[in-house]
Amino acid sequence: MRPRAAALFLGTLLTVAPLCLTAQGYRFAEIPWGSNGETLKKMMAVQSLMLVKVDSDGDYEFKGTLAQYLAVVWGFMAGGKLVKVAVYLITPDNKAREEYRKMKDVLITKYGPPTSRYDYFQGPYEEGDGYEDQAIRLGKGHFFTVVQTESDTSNLGLQISERLAVIISYESPRWNGEADRRKAKATKAF
What torsion, rounded to 10 degrees, do the Cα atoms 120, 121, 126, 127 define? -40
E strands within 60-153?
60-66, 69-78, 81-90, 116-121, 141-147
Q: In the structure, what pLDDT confidence band is assigned to residue 20 with cuts at 50, 70 and 90?
A: very low
Domain that holds residue 138: 3-188
pTM of the model: 0.84
Residue 153 has pLDDT above 90, yes or no: no
How many domains would you assign to the chain? 1
> Which amino acid, one-letter code, is at 70?
L
Mean pLDDT, rounded, of the chain: 87
Whether residue 166 contacts residue 160, with contact meaning beta carbons closer than 8 Å, is answered with yes
Whether 92 shows a pLDDT value over 60: the answer reads yes
